[in-house]
């Protein structure tokens, strides 16, 4: 099972100096949805995750980690 580092999503967006509204527009979602993804209140869809990795110029591996139980 893969999980997204939700706190990292906000960190990397801010590090890249991409405002929330700009990132949401590039992702094709509204700001509230992106905020819910960044806070972990909504599950991130795979297509959005791929777009985030591209926009933020990071790998999927950086945004996710494998969970072991």
**Element (DSSP H or E) covering residue 4:** strand 2-4
Return d(Cα 61, Cα 19) in angstroms, integer: 23
> Rounded to an integer, what distance in angstroms lies between the CA atom of residue 48 and that of residue 50?
5
Query: Which has more confidence, 3 or 41?
Result: 41
pTM above 0.85, yes or no: no
Tokens of 61: 């591996």
Could you report the per-residue pLDDT of 11-47, keeping only the tens digit for each? 999 999 999 999 999 999 999 999 999 988 998 888 9
């Amino acid at each position: 099972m893969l999980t997204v580092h939700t706190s990292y999503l906000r960190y990397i967006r801010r590090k890249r100096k991409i405002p929330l509204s700009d990132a949401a527009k590039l992702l094709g979602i509204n700001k509230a949805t992106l905020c819910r993804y960044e806070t972990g209140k909504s599950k991130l869809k795979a297509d959005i995750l791929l777009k985030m990795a591209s926009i933020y110029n990071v790998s999927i591996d950086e945004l996710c980690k494998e969970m072991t139980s």
